[in-house]
Every structure is written in C-alpha cells, then in structure tokens.
Structure 1
Amino acid sequence: MKIQPFATEQYYARYEFSTPHLLSVSDCETISIGELLQMANVSLEKMGQVRLGYTESQGNPVLREAVANTYDKVSAEQVIILTSPVEGIYLTLQAMLEPEDEVIVLVPAYDALINVAEHVSRHVQRWEIVPTATGWQLDLDKLAALVNPKTKLIVVNFPHNPTGYLPTRSQFDTIIELARKEGVWLFCDEMYRGLEHGGRPQLPSAADSYERSIVLSGLSKTHGLPGLRAGWLVIPDEEVRQAIINWKHYTTICPAAPTEFLALAALDIGEELAQRSQTLIRQNLQLAETFFAQWQDFFNWRPPIAGSVALVGIDVTSATSYCHHLAQAAGVLLLPATFMGSDDQHVRFGFGRRSFPSALSHYDTYLKQAMAMMG
C-alpha cells in the first residue's frame, strides 16, 4: 500500500540547500564536531578510537543511562536509541497499530505523524488546534468527544510544531486522564522540549506522567544538532518496547557508533546547548515582533510560547503557491502549512538560526519592493 508523499521533506529537498534566505527551518543553530568536543572537554583523539563495528540494537547502555537521567522516573532499560528521530515515529506506529485501529492526531503536525498513522491504520481522526486572537488553544472538549473505546492511540507534540503552542500543566493532565480512562496509548513528540519562552515552566515529560506513553525526543532541535541524527524513544511498557525493537531490526538494526559517542558528549553539555538555542530564539523573536508589527496588514502574527517555530497567517490566495514563488523569485524560504495538515493561508517561520536577522531583512526589502510595484 502506497504512503502519501512526504511533502515537507520533499519541499526542503528541493529548496533548502539552494535558497539563501531560510526563514522556516525548525532546527536551531548548529556547531561543528570540533566545537562540540571542545565544549564537552573530549579530545578528537578519543573520538578517533571509536570502533566502527555493530552496536547494541537498543543502544549503548551508557548513552541510555544518560538519556534516562534527563527524566525523573525513567530507567535506562526503558530507552531505545534511534538512528534518526523520525525513525521513532515510523517504528512506533508500525508496532502499535493494526488496520482499522482508530488514531487521534493533533493537527497541524509534522507530516510523518499524520501520514504514517493513516498508512497503517487508515482511521485517523484529526484533532485541530484552535486559533485565538493572539495565539492558539486546545479544544479539550473536542478531544473528549473523539476518544472512544475503539481509540488505540493519541498523537501529540509539545511544544507544538508548527504553532509554538504549549499547554498548561492542567491541560496536559487532562489529555492524560482522557487517555487513561479508555486505556488509550499516548505518543508524545517532545523534540522541542526545553525551548519554553518567557519563563514558562517546562511540562513534565509524558514518560514521567503516564504508564501507557511512548515519548520521542532527540538532539536535533533544542540542542541544535540535526546532522547528528541522534534521537530516542522512552517506553515504560516492556511489551511495547520489545515490539518496537523488533521493528527496528527490520529497519536500521542498531545506532551508528560515532553518533552515540557524540550524543553522549552532547548530553554532558545539554543545558549549555539548550541555553544557547534559547538565547538565539529570544533575540530573533524580538526582531520578528517588530517585523510583524510593520506588516500587520499582510500577516496574522500569533507569537509562539515555546519551541523554535510559529504558524503565521498570510494574506495571499494560496500560501503554497506563494512560497514556491518566493523561493524562486526572492531566494526566501517559508514553509506552506498545507504540508502539515493546515489550511492554505498559513506559513511556518523558524527562529533558531543565526542567519535569521539577515534573512528577515532581505524578505522585508523584497516585500517593500513588491508593494511599491503594486502601488
């Protein structure tokens, strides 16, 4: 059975490495291997001693222990090290779902969270996040209406990509209680956890909160290391964990030894890397506030409260067509929200890169020239 095209990744494959002004990417500014090792006080010589043989399928025990230590109630045995964070989505949904199982997915969302669920179960209910005058909100009554005895899995991601929304602790607890009431599994993508804004408290991980949770996390977003392809799943339930490991045997078998070595170094300085990303996002959001205030007739700006991205309304007939034209005509890359299950009047902005100020300035100049030509 064919799966839907992975629209977001196909779009970035087409434009990301040929378009100079990136305003939509979701990761944070990265560093080199040398910089990482220096920050972690690890020698390049030590990395050179890493053997390139097979590794343990579940992941290096030392790395799994380091991951477990970033949670409150997680043991190393509950952690599976992935070859790529997106692998965790594929493995979980293949292992958990059968045709006809009902799945509820919070949308908009990263394509894989929607498309793989639809590919396997063919019964996805979309739980839409709701726009407000100044931000976004969850419709918990709608979720309660969607959950039923046939529901197998609820899929969420917090902080939310692409809106930048973060539920309150009370809202998060309500989601868990709705799942617990019907014995529903909860898949929680926590790739942006640690990027809360304005002093907002960090939500507890679903792995520390719900016995029927599967949590995805990694080093691509908050830590700014997407090229490392380091990620993990946390799965309290032993039976589900073994089912996912079995699927991993059919995909990548085991993590790459160099990735595990560097991931361990990164976790040793995890707070420093996260603070670096937080500072950059905070600076870029200040620029964005000024930009959107100047262009309030063209954009509907709902500031993010967590994460590195925001979903922004745009006054065009088709955001998809506009984004393709913008990349080709102006060298500016925005992401159409249609790829993530939203409407065609929104685009995603990303605030984690050091190049954001220059890219935003270029886009501002382009908009002024375009408006002058129209006027």
Structure 2
Amino acid sequence: MGDQSKHLPEEFKLERFLARYEFTAPYTLCCSDSQPLSQSEVLALADDECRRKWDQLSLAYTEPEGLPELREEVAKLYNGVSAKDVLIMGPQEALSIAMLAMLRPGDHVVVTFPGYQSLYQIAHTIGAEVSFWHMRADEEGRLVFQMSELRKLVRPTTRAVVVNFPHNPSGALLSLADWETLVEQCRAAGAYLFSDEMYRMLERDPGARLPAAAECYERGVSLCGMSKALGMPGIRIGWLATRDASLHPLIQRLHDYSTICNSAPSEVLALIGLRARDWLISANLDLIEANLGAARAFFARHSDTFEWYEPAAGSVAFPRLRTGEPVDEFCERLVQKSGVLLLPATVYEHAPSVAEGRFRIGLGRLNFKECLKHLEDFLQKEKESA
C-alpha cells in the first residue's frame, strides 16, 4: 500500500524527545515556560466580574472567535489593534492554521533557525520552499541574527518571513533598528510577516521590547499565548492578532475544521490571567533574573565543561558542551544517571554549525537551582570516576 505518512509533516523531534522524559524526569532543566500556576492561584487573582463568570460558567459551546471580553483584553496588549483583529485558539493550532491560510504550494518562505519545528515544517508540508535565516555567533560570542543574511534570503516573490523573537532556544533579540529593517524587507516584497511572539513580555529591559508584527505592519501576524510569560500552558489558550482583514475569514474557515471553538473554563482562566498580567509578568521576570544569576555562577565554575551564552531576553538559554562528546549522548547519560533533563540541539533539524554541542536550559522555574545542584553532583561524580 506504500507509505501512509508521506503526506504528513515529519516527526516532531523536539516534542517526541520531551514526550519520552518530560513527565518522568525528576529535574527538568529545559522547560521553556514560566513557573506554572495552579488553578487556585489563578482564581485568587480574579476580579469580581471574572469570579462571577467562573462561578456561573456554562459548559456549553463557546463563540468561535473567542470570548469577547478575552479578545478585548488581548487587544489591549497592542497599539492600533482592536478586538476584531484578534482570534482566540490554541497556540499550535493557531500557528498551523495561519500557515495554511497564508501559504500555497511553491511559495517561498524565510524562517529563523534553529527554532520550533512547526514554524518551518508546516510550510514544508504545504509544499513551500523554505530558506533558513540561521543564527550566528558574533565577534563577542553573542547569538544573533544578521540582517545582511536576511537581505540575501528575501526575494521579490517571497510569500512570508517567519520569525521568533525573543528567540527560542537562544534568547536572541533584534534591535529596534534591525526589526524596522525586517519590516521594510517584508513590505518591499509584499510578504507576510508571521511573528511568533510567545516569549514577548519577558524582556528584562522593557525598552528592548520590539513592536508586535500586528502593530507595525499591515501584513503582520502576531502569535502569542498564555504559556511562556504568564505561566498558564495547561489551559491551551493563545491567539492570532492581525490587521490584515483578508486573512480572518480564511483562518476562521480552517478553525471550523479543527477545534471550532475553545474550552469555556480555559477562556475564563485566560481572562483572569491577562487582567493580572502586570503582576504575573513581574514575578516571572524576577524569577528569571534570580535564576540567571545562579546560571552565571554555575557556568563560571564549570567553564572547562560548558560555554555560557547570556540570553538577551526570554526564559531560555543555549549553552554549549565543550568536551567534544556528542551533546545528545551527554544529555541521554545525564537524564538516565541523575534525572536531570536538558534539551540537546540535535532535536532541531538542519541545525547550523553554531548550534553544534548546544543544549537548551529553561530559566523560568522555581526548582532551577535544585536542578543545577543535581547537574553539578553529576559532573562531580563523573570527574571522580574518570
């Protein structure tokens, strides 16, 4: 009968790797989200209106575009974006649907790389030609995306440029000048700018926060959600924001063939979280800053084993193993012997040479220092047995 999966996306390597270990490893050091909240913690943040909504919640179908009050709250995150420009759905679903709405077989797409596999795999499955905008290390060792390389990649016929800033897994962030150049490159080509902004609002310097794509470009599409900055990944609520009115009916048509509408409890919990966003984001940034201090000290103590690269923003970093051992073998041995889980760069297909030997760590969890302690114990035992 032949290969029954040829028409499907390739295996999602990162998710399959995490599925093996994430829920069994006792010390998960690679989580990309902020410290998850409990339901009771979220409900304690509810204002009177949200508490009434929760207490009187009907487990009926919900509005396909999303809870109106939630769309209004999301729109407040952006300048010049209204509730009608916002569609609520799960982040992964939103990403896939947006790609299907924007792209056609044969289209050319430029994508930041390495990155979350959906950002390029869906385009490839549709039949688009994908060019990677590779992360590089600059003269000072910082991980960056160079505009000179982008200019070479974007063509007059490019259909979309797909970016992710703050970047996962490196924490790289464009300057405002480079962001404006990126927007102008898209405008000159008439290309969509699809911007994965899941880590937006986790800039330690608020002045470094970039404008959202939906704010600054008429063909900009912003993807964001509740998981990274707000610590609510389990409610599976995200959104697309775009002022391109021609995309909305296409996205909604595809949404009708997927989940149709969202979970009623999840939408109310998201509304509560967004209304408390200033407090939640401040608390998560404080935790990231404290964990960064611990990370700097740890990697300084173990500079013979690792190279540390300071992330510019976000909740992840991308150090390098410098022993010469394949990083996937090191990570496998580490989790098997100590229960500490790191994410090796080998889960990112076609990773450039600058990613060789790297692994992702997450900076947003309360048990970060405990996980580092177990990693340090592992390293000490390895040295003693050598």
Q: TM-score, normalised by structure 2?
A: 0.94
Equivalent position to 1:291, from 298, 301, 305: 298
CA distance in 2, matches of 1:71, 1:218: 14
Mapping for residues 50-199 of structure 1, pairs under 5 Å: 50-82=57-89, 84-132=90-138, 133-198=140-205
CA distance in 1, matches of 2:116, 2:206: 26
SS of equivalent residue, structure 2 residue 318: strand
Mapping for residues 1-375 of structure 1, pairs under 5 Å: 1-41=7-47, 46-82=53-89, 84-132=90-138, 133-198=140-205, 200-315=207-322, 316-341=324-349, 342=351, 343-374=355-386
Letter of the structure 1 residue corresponding to residue 202 of structure 2: L
Is the Cα contact below 8 Å between 1:34 and 1:44 reproduced in 2? no
1:122 Cα offset (Å):
3.9
1:344 Cα offset (Å):
4.0
Structure 1 unpaired stretches of 5+ = none
Is the Cα contact below 8 Å between 1:8 and 1:340 reproduced in 2? yes
SS of equivalent residue, structure 1 residue 173: helix
Structure 2 unpaired stretches of 5+ = 1-6
CA distance in 2, matches of 1:121, 1:142: 24
Deviations 1:97-140 (A, max 9, x none): 11111111000101111211211134110110111333112211
How many residues align? The count is 373
SS of equivalent residue, structure 1 residue 39: coil
CA-atom RMSD, angstroms? 1.4
Deviations 1:339-373 (A, max 9, x none): 23434411001100001010101101111110221
2:3 match = none
Is the Cα contact below 8 Å between 1:320 and 1:344 reproduced in 2? no
Percentage of pairs with the same residue = 39
1:74 Cα offset (Å):
0.3
SS of equivalent residue, structure 1 residue 259: helix
Is the Cα contact below 8 Å between 1:134 and 1:303 reproduced in 2? no
1:317 Cα offset (Å):
2.9
Is the Cα contact below 8 Å between 1:73 and 1:208 reproduced in 2? yes
1:149 Cα offset (Å):
2.1
1:270 Cα offset (Å):
0.6
Deviations 1:304-328 (A, max 9, x none): 1100001111124321222222211
SS of equivalent residue, structure 2 residue 118: helix
1:44 Cα offset (Å):
6.2
SS of equivalent residue, structure 1 residue 74: coil
Q: TM-score, normalised by structure 1?
A: 0.96
